[in-house]
Structure 1
Amino acid sequence: MKLFPCAHATHPQWAMAAGLVLAQLRAQMALPEYAASPTLGLLYITDHYAPHAQDILDHLGAELPEVTDWAGTVGVGVAGSNVEYFDEPALSVMLCAVPPDQYRVFSGVAPLGVGDAMGFEPHTALVHADASTADLAELIAEMAQRTATGYLFGGLASSRTQPVQFAVGGNGNIKGQGAAGGVFRGGLSGVAFGEQVVLVSRVTQGCHPVAPQRVVTAAEGHVMQELDGEPALEVLLRDTGISLDRPHEAMAALRATLVGLTPAGSDAVGRTGHFGADVLVRHIIGLDPGRNAVAIADRVEPGMRMAFCRRDVQAARSDLVRICSEIREELEPQEVSLPVAAALAAPDAGAGPHPARRIAGAVYVSCAGRGGPHFGGPSAELQIVRRALGDVPLVGFFAGGEIARDHLYGYTGVLTVFCAAAP
């Protein structure tokens, strides 16, 4: 599989930014290591461009007639290879060279089916969604059930103007959407991929446990009443070292303390000491000294497992490096030739893609609350990904919520790579 052409640009005028992106894409498509005629485009714009979404889509479609299908959405920031554009007018595009019979673009007016007349069976799906959609978590879970693997990846549109989504298929519109122009609001849209499209995906929570795993032994609604049979508030104060006798210090510490939840029977803290993909990190929203209870921003049930955790720059950086390393380890073959092994062991091995890693492109969806300062500076998050994965084509956006498997997350990053099948 050849590299996916990928480009990004910023400019106060969307037409100028689009022109810069098109120039980059065409230059790459002329290179032998890049795909020359990809048919699927992923398009992400910042909310500065949201009012011009239809014009942007129409322009790119007209200038790239070989790209017959488009999907994407809007964010307060967008990501490209080694860079993020946060709170400024920008767009980021990747053209995916995926066999046309191995993907389907879908939207609310052209839903994803379990199978279609052409025999397409969805195995995974990139999903974009509107946060205002009713019963969104249930819809995401139902969407996962329509795929063979149950694995989704993506995120919620984030915009201070219009939360638009892009979904165009085939001859300019998706079968079933009529004369719609491919720009939607509300509901879910995206791209489903078939079995031959090999994806590797990981979730980074960006926080670390500060106490042992506990079992919720009594709860009601959003309130944890007992942990391991003890009053929840007492456990919180003991595990975190917070004292209510010093209110100002206690409030600052509580704001930085979160709860990692997992369903009954799942481990909150894995063998490596990090949170796994099953963990949902939620804020503490209140304390009840009268009942010795703790309220969190999600419903909790007896039998769930949890661990108190904190989010900081160091934790975010180390966890992002961890998931990139896991992806690389999964893609690198156990046995390689001596020249390949030497190349991978070279000091600059992480500076560019290597055939042994077989990454054609990547999609990174990060929480809008993680960008910039959370990693220590502008574009620091994307620079970490590049150093860990290599200089692979990458596109993405900063979301109002992240989707992985059948879960809706917050304050996380979801990194997914397209790769060639193992030889």
Structure 2
Amino acid sequence: MFRIAHAGAPEWQQAANTCLAQLGDVPAEASLGFLYVTDHLAGHLPQILAFFKEQTDVPQWVGSVGVGVCATSQEYNDQPAISVMIADFPPDAFRVFPAIKSGIDEFAGHRAWCDQADAHFAVVHGDPRNPKTPVFITELADAIHDGFLVGGLTSSRGPNFQIAGGLTEGGLSGVVFSSRVAVATALTQGCSPLGKKHEITECQDNIAIRIDDRPALDVLNEEVGEILARDLRRAAGYIFAGFPIKGSDTGDYIVRNLVGIDPDNKLVAIGDELNAGDTIMFCRRDIRSAYEDLVRMLHDIKGRLERPPKGGVYYSCLGRGAHMFGENSEELKTIRQELGDIPLVGFFANGEISHNRLYGFTGVLTLFS
């Protein structure tokens, strides 16, 4: 049993009551809720969470805040809105854990349950303000024995709350599922590669000094073309750095922002730490290829399902959605068009989580079957 509800309204009480009416009579078996609110309502999340706990009697909740939230075929961007889903997972088939803020040892109390439940999958939400969050993602996946994580980082112009039982913030939190819960997950890219792969031959922190043993900026200029090379300010938000994932059999890669250039010294600053020997390529934000890859991903995950999905969660980059596919909820409508009218909730994140990595400009879909 999966049920969803979603609503936009000027006041949180109005949106919450509309959602409650859509949920109808909540079965006693409902054990876990997913709750996402736009950052317009972030300051009211304590009251919103308390409202749904009291009115539904669903004991456990997870969720986060986003600049936009989504539900089946509907996106809410830059407006007060709530998206909620409840499900009747067996109570012993999942375990909610609070934020890991300082180190993975804070998860130690849950390891015995994970071993007993043969848990290898988790839905997680992270605080983008904690610089250790990307490390926690990798370490948590290792802690649940080569586990697979999905989720996103909170995107908010106000409070950066996550939900894990109660309100939390400052780290990585969520819910781990036992192997009894069948899931299928897939990722779609929002940027397409330009040119060929290169090697970073000299760097310092996040600054590429030489690529292919040439000045880094010279290589970038050649890849982006003469018109953009004349004025790289035009490339902001359009050209990115991509880092292929070693051992990926699907050609997967992580996208990071270009955060600055030094024309005099021909340096390129990138929004992540660099290491000499890293493979790098340059990518462009490409609406057509992003749509084609979204459809490809949906066909792929549909083909892997052994039975129709009961419900799902979707985490998309805040640079996608209306900014990439248009104002009419086209990204979510495409999912419904390919998969049907399944219960689905999620939010537009400040970084998307898939497997054991933090991505950018992607969409991460998980279906429960």
Counterpart amino acid of 2:178?
G
Q: 2:348 aligned to 394, 398, 407, which one?
A: 398
User: Offset of 1:128 from its aligned partner?
Assistant: 1.1
Asked if 1:57 is matched to 2:49, the reply is yes
CA distance in 1, matches of 2:114, 2:359: 34
Size of the aligned set, in residue pairs, is 363
Contact between 2:237 and 2:285, CA under 8 Å: does it hold in 1?
no
1:282 corresponds to which of 235, 245, 256: 256
Is 2:73 the counterpart of 1:82?
yes
Kindly state the Cα deviation for residue 311 of structure 1 after the two structures are TM-superposed. 0.5
Q: Residue 308 in 1 paired to residue 282 in 2?
A: yes
Residue 201 of structure 1: how far off its partner (Å): 1.5
Structure 2 SS opposite 1:314: helix
**Is 2:104 the partner of 1:104?**
no
SS of the residue 2:125 aligns to:
strand
Would you say 1:24 and 2:7 are equivalent positions? Answer: no
> How many Å apart are 1:254 and its aligned residue?
6.0
The 8 Å contact of residues 103 and 192 in structure 1, kept in 2 or not, is answered as yes
SS of residue matched to 2:2: coil
Whether contact under 8 Å (1:114, 1:121) holds in the other structure is no
Question: Which range is displaced more, 56-65 or 284-293?
Answer: 284-293
Task: Return the match for 2:338 from 388, 400, 405.
Answer: 388
What residue is the counterpart of 2:85 in the other structure? 94
Question: Within 5 Å, which residues of 2 pair with 1:24-423?
Answer: 24-26=22-24, 37-65=29-57, 67-108=58-99, 111=107, 113-116=110-113, 119-168=116-165, 182-242=166-226, 247-248=230-231, 250-253=232-235, 255-262=237-244, 265-266=246-247, 276=252, 279-331=253-305, 356=307, 358-419=308-369
- Where does the alignment leave 5 or more consecutive residues of structure 2 unmatched? 101-105
Contact 2:6 2:83 in 1 (8 A): yes
Which whole-Å CA distance do the structure 1 matches of 2:41 and 2:218 have between them?
49
Where do 5+ consecutive residues of structure 1 fail to align?
A: 30-34, 169-181, 333-355
Say which SS state the counterpart of residue 213 (structure 1) adopts. strand
Partner-residue secondary structure (3-state), 1:310:
strand
Rounded Cα–Cα distance in structure 1 between residues aligned with 2:354 and 2:292? 20
> SS in structure 2 opposite 1:191?
strand
Describe the SS at the equivalent of 2:79.
Answer: coil
The secondary structure found in structure 1 opposite 2:24 is: helix
The 2-side partners of 1:230 and 1:56 are apart by: 55
SS in 2 for 1:370: coil
TM-score w.r.t. length of structure 1: 0.79
Identical aligned pairs, as a percentage? 41
Q: Distance in 2 between matches of 1:399 and 1:238?
A: 32
Q: 2: distance between equivalents of 1:196 and 1:225?
A: 49
1:181-208 Cα shifts (integer Å, max 9, x gaps): x122322221111111122112222011
**RMSD value over aligned CA atoms?**
2.5
Provide TM-score, normalisation by structure 2. 0.89
Contact 1:128 1:190 survives alignment (8 Å): yes
Aligned letter for 1:302?
Answer: A
- Please tell me whether Structure 1 or Structure 2 has the larger radius of gyration of its CA atoms: 1
